[in-house]
Amino acid sequence: MLYWLLKYVILGPLLRLIFRPQVEGLRHVPDTGPVILASNHLSFSDSIFTPLITKRKVTFVAKAEYFTGRGVKGWLTKMFFVGTGTIPVDRSGGRAARAALDTQLTVLRAGGIAGIYPEGTRSPDGRLYRGKTGVARLALESGAPVVPVVMLNLDEIQPPGTLIPKLKRVRIRFGAPLDFSRYRGMAGDRFVERAVTDEIMYELMELSGREYVDMYAQKVKNQAPAEPAARQPVAA
């Protein structure tokens, strides 16, 4: 109930008025049936605008820390994620990745939409980084099509670490569904899962026009700070 109140009564109308989302290719998201939305990850706001502009409910998973913050900010963050249907997952243990996968599989088997960021974390500089194979395992185990979706300018509107977003029109682009049924029964094969993941990341690169880096984003974040790389022009 809180999800629909936020989307259609409280938060949704206000955000649509202020940020006037410009959306391309929304027709690629099917009206019914399980589907995986695989997105690049530029900003905290990614998880706001993707559910906002889709007709159906989109379920993401998020680290459990988002649900345990203290003070007013912590309470507001928790209420936002609860209200948008986000599911907390403890990422501290060795089985955490499997727990996140099982949660999303439950959503898909119920005919819903599972949202996932294949990079695993927000891009540190706007470039697109190597995808983790969890998205491939999710697609192969569920049999659901994968719809690539890219945030084109949310890193400009709300860069990481910024609390108040800039007032600028949000641009989002959806690509055609990717069908991996040719790999049916091959979940767990690391070579197949890497091939599927790389295909998804290639589509995200093509849709976004962003430079691709064959390296995990988290590894870059763990390294010493460096000058941000120049951004590539967004595809027309």
Taking the C-alpha atoms of residue 92 and residue 78, their distance in angstroms, rounded to an integer, is 19
**Domain spans in the chain, listed from the N-terminal domain onward:** 2-222
Whether domain 2-222 has CATH 3.40.1130.10: the reply is yes
Residues forming beta bridges with residue 35, ordered by sequence position: 113
User: What per-residue confidence (pLDDT) applies to 183?
Assistant: 96
Confidence of residue 2 (pLDDT cuts 50, 70, 90): low
Render pLDDT for 15-33 as a digit per residue (tens, 0 to 9). 889 999 999 999 999 999 9
Residue 52: count of CB within 10 angstroms of its CB: 23
CB of 149 closer than 8 Å to CB of 58: no
Render pLDDT for 79-112 as a digit per residue (tens, 0 to 9). 777 766 777 776 555 566 777 888 899 999 999 9
Taking the C-alpha atoms of residue 102 and residue 96, their distance in angstroms, rounded to an integer, is 10
The structure's pTM equals 0.86
Confidence of residue 115 (pLDDT cuts 50, 70, 90): very high
Indicate whether 154 pLDDT > 80.
yes
Range of lowest pLDDT (50-64, 149-163, 184-198, 213-227)? 213-227
User: What per-residue confidence (pLDDT) applies to 91?
Assistant: 59
Q: What is the DSSP string of 33-77?
A: S-EEEEE----TTHHHHHHHHSSS-EE-EEEGGGGS--HHHHHHH
- The H or E element that residue 115 is part of is strand 113-116
Mean pLDDT of the chain: 86
**Phi-psi category of 85—alpha, beta or left, where left has phi over 0 and alpha has psi -120 to 50?**
left
